[in-house]
Every structure is written in structure tokens, then in C-alpha cells.
A and B are shown apart, each in its own frame.
Chain A
Amino acid sequence: MSKKQKKAIGTILLYLVLILFVFVALFPILFCLSASLRTQEDLFQNMLPFTLRALIPTKLTFENYVIIFTQYEFWRPIMNTLIVTGLTIFFGCLINSIAGFAFTCFDFKGKKILYALVLVSFMVPFESIAIPLYDVASKLKMVDTYAGMIVPAIADGLVAFLFIQFFKDIPVALIEAARVDGASWPRIFARIIMPISVPVFVTAGLMIFMNQWNSYMWPLLVARSKEIRTIQIAISAFSGERAIKWTYIYAGSLVSAIIPICLFLPFQKYFVEGITAGSVKG
């Protein structure tokens, strides 16, 4: 066998393995899509014996989506999640970027200790503090409020770290020049720093979005009531109901996954950079 042939076989094998992995990765999502577009009877009756009909709808219907939005008011948890996520992104980007700027640009007493504190906080896994955190939230009267889901998630060591990494590379001359012109610090931050830092704000915003959109344990503890619960809680409560049709659950699952997927696809570069920053640079 020539070298060329060997290489061709290698490439074919590579594609076969890739296709296998992609199949495993996508099958649950695609099956979920397919099942959400058929009636429960169609889904169950064609399950056995296993044929292509078990996987593909014989007749398409959007009824499941209509029912979860009207009868089960699915828009409510989606709105709740959007409110919680949006506010966390806004405040999270704001205070972490300002703190990051202070850590990069200023010298002050106790800087090292405070910086270490910020770094340590992103190594403390959230699950380990969730239950004692509930006591804190309860003392602050934050149980069953939006604030209970938002405020504890705003300060984020990893997000602050991302900003610090980015601000380090901003040329000193840029800030010096503005200072000579007599610009105040808030003005320098808003007019000079923020416009050139758009990429890191996008990355930070995406990370906060993914964390908040997907968070489960904390909202489960702190926001149980139906009016303010988020999408993940709604889905899990949904799947726990006995009389519910599976096709509704499939439709709900797909709805809750489609928004992060739509955000992830165009911005994947930013997102991967953000999430891996701590491991590669740190």
C-alpha cells in the first residue's frame, strides 16, 4: 500500500469516527425535535417494532407547541428566565468590569489579598454553597423573588478575571492622554475603555447567559413558586407530572434548548474563549 492510499484510508476512518460521535451528540436533540412535531399516539404506536417510523413523524403537528404555550403558559417561565438572565448580565458585566479595571489600573493597599479573594471565589463550586446560601438569601428576604436568583450570581470571579486579562493589554498611553485632557475616571471608563472592550463584554455576557439560563439547583431552592420559576424548573416539574403527554415535554425541552443554541452558534468563538480563559492562561 502506498503512502497516499494509507493517508486516504486514515481520512475515511477519521470521518467515520466523527460521524459516529456526531450521531451520539445529535440523536437526542433530533429525536426530541421529531417527537415534538407528532402526536403522542403516533409516537407510541410506532415505537414497536422498531422501524424508521419510530423516529420520523407520520404526520406533522404543531399542537404540542400550541398547548404548552397556551394551556401550560410556557411563556411565563421563559419571560422569568429572560428577566433574571438579562438583569444578571447587565449588573454582572457592569460591576465585574469596573472591579477588573480597578485591579488592572490602580495600586492600592490590600490589592493582592482582595485579588486572591476574587480568584478563590471562582474555584468554589456553586453546588457546595447552595444550601448555606439559602440561609443567607432567606435572612435577606430574597426567597421567592427575582432578586434571590439575580443578586448572588452578579459577582463572578471568573468574569472579573476575564476583564482583568483583557484590560492588561490596553495601551497605557490611551488612558494617560485622556487624563491629561482632564477626563474623569467614569468618563474614561465609559468613553474609552468600554468601546474597545466589546469582545470581552460579549464573552462575559455569553458566559453569564449560559450560567443563568441553565442554572437549576439554585432556582430550585430559592424560587419555587409558579409565578417566578425559571425554565429549567418548569421543565423538570413538567416531566414530573403524571398525566402529562411526552410530546409536550419534548416540545418544552426543545424550546428551552433552542435559545442557548441560537446564541451559541454565531458566537461560539467568543464563548469558547471565555470559558477556557481560566484554564489556559491561569
Chain B
Amino acid sequence: MGGIHIKNRWLPYVMIAPTVILICVFKIYPIIASVIQAFLSKDGIPTFDNYKFLFADKTFWNSLKVTLKFNIIIIPVQIVISFIMALLVNAKVKGIEGFRTALYLPFCVSLTVSTVIWQMLLNINNGVMNSFLSLFGVRPIGFLIDKKWALLSIILISSWRGCAYWMMFFLAGLKGIDRSVYESAKMDGSGFFSTLFRITIPLLKNTSLFVLVANTTANFLLFAPVQIATEGGPQGSTDLLMYEAYKAAFVYSNRQRQACIVTILLVIVIGVCVIQNKFMTEKEA
């Protein structure tokens, strides 16, 4: 760390105390408590029963399947689209600032409000989406109430806002690339796609890794759209694990089950992130 490095016996501790104490109480302790609770019975005796019960439960396996399916689709979709958006608004053409601001805007609309708005846009009876599709003779689709469509609709809702957010990171990364790199590529007669794959993408490795990890974490722990729009239904088709954990704690008052699910989610997230990290760094070698 840079800076001045002054020595003082007690002052620095006083200065960092509020932040460190609050972080310990409200961030570090809860996560440890949750992992421990997963291995304790209701009376506080160490046990593996919580996991045994959970693994014997069909709802849990369905929820795990839905969560994996959801993430396998949403993570690449969001990353590819937000990357394309960043490339587009990084172009040097007239009026690009206006386009950039417009593409940022969905991020300002909270996920809650986005869900509430899209819920009405996608409604089967009075939704504008079905009204528009009727122009082409499409029968009304129950985007959020049909088992075939609900998960895709949740993906659409989350990505509408999410892509604007992730675009900011790719754009910051693109801006960090020295323009002279592009100039020399152009001189060598490198076309758009070969510049993209040989220069831009490799140079964005750190940004991409960050977005990949942060995006994975965010999507595995997604909660609001499901809680507001579908409540896990229809027929469990959008029952993401985070929502299942919420229900365990606040609907069934089963803290052990909730602690198990959150711990499993964390293990999955850390596992996926470690694999992504390894994969991305190996490619370089």
C-alpha cells in the first residue's frame, strides 16, 4: 500500500474500529453462523440430519435443477449481450453519449420495479407484449404463468436490468485499452473480427474474469423477480434455491433447512468461481 506510513500506537485502531466492528458483526459473523447452523439440530447438537432431510426432499432437487438451468442460460446470455453493448457504445460516432446514457438507464430502475413493470408488460390478458404479438397471429402466451415460459421470462426480466449494469464494467475495461494498440492493428490490415478476437478480448481478460465471477455470484443468489412475479411457480418451474432458502426461513420457520441451502449455494458459487478462474488463467499460458 502506498501513502505515508506514520506510526501511532492507538489512533489508527480507533479510526478503523467502527468499520471493522460493523463488518465483523453484520457480514463475517452471519456467514459463519449460517454454516455452523447447518450442522446443528434444533437443540444445538451437532448432526448431519439437516442435510439428510434436505437431500431426501424432492423439492430441493427440483430447485437445484432449476437453479442450474437458470444459470447455464443467464450467465452466458448476460455476458455476451453486455459485452456487445459495451463494444457498441464504445464506438466513436456522433451522438454516442446519448446512446450510452440510454443503455445505462435500465440499471437505474431497481430489480423490484423492473419486475413489477415487466410483469404487467408480459401479462396474458392485458399485457402489451401479447397485444403486439397478436399482430402476427400469435395466441396469448402466459409468460409468467406457463411452465414452458416462466423461467425464460425471469431471465428476460433480470437481464433487461442486468446487462446495463455489466456493460459498465466492460466499457470501463475497453476504455482502459490504449488506442495506439488499435491504430497499429489497423495499420497491419487487421479486420474488425480479428482485432476483436486477437486484441480486444485478450486484453480484457481481467475485466472479463471479474464480470464472470460477479455475474455468477449475483445470478446464483437471485431472489427478487421470483419472489415478486412467480413465487417459484408454476409447478416449481422458477423455484430458485435462494427463494427456497427464503421460504424455509420465513414461511416454514425451518432455519436448519435454510442454513443448509445457503451453505450449498455458497459452495456451488465458490466452486464455479474457482473453476472459472482456473479456466481463464490457463488459457493465457
Contacts and interface: CB of A to CB of B under 8 A. Distances in A.
A24 B206 CA distance: 29
B168 A121 contact: no
Contacts of A172: 3-4
Nearest to A210: B108
B251 interface: no
A71 interface: no
Contact of B105 (A25, A107, A232): A25
Q: Is the interface of B mostly helix, strand, loop or mixed?
A: helix
Given A29-B105, A96-B19, A168-B3, A279 B8 contact: no
Interface residues on A, range: 35 or more
A90 to B, nearest CB: 13
Interface string B218-247: 100111100110000000000000100110
B23 A157 contact: yes
Interface stretch (B24-32, B45-53, B182-190): B24-32
A240 B109 CA distance: 19
Contacts of B245: 131
B108 A264 contact: yes
A265 interface: yes
A181 B16 CA distance: 25
Interface string A143-172: 000000001101101001000100111001
Contacts of B217: 125
Contact of B117 (A22, A28, A48, A160): A28
Interface stretch (B56-64, B124-132, B147-155): B124-132
Interface in A236-253: 236, 238-240, 246, 249-250, 253
B29 A276 contact: no
Nearest to B222: A127
Contacts of A260: 108-110
A213 interface: yes
Interface of B: 1-8, 11-13, 15-16, 18-31, 33-34, 37, 85, 88-89, 91, 93, 99, 101-121, 126, 128, 131-132, 134-135, 160, 164, 168-169, 171-173, 176, 206-207, 210-211, 214, 217-218, 221-224, 227-228, 242, 245-246, 249-250, 255, 258-259, 262, 265-266, 269
23 contacts: A18-B89, A22-B102, A29-B105, A54-B132, A114-B20, A125-B269, A127-B242, A128-B265, A133-B30, A151-B22, A185-B11, A210-B108, A216-B111, A216-B112, A217-B223, A236-B112, A246-B126, A249-B120, A250-B120, A257-B113, A264-B104, A276-B168, A279-B172
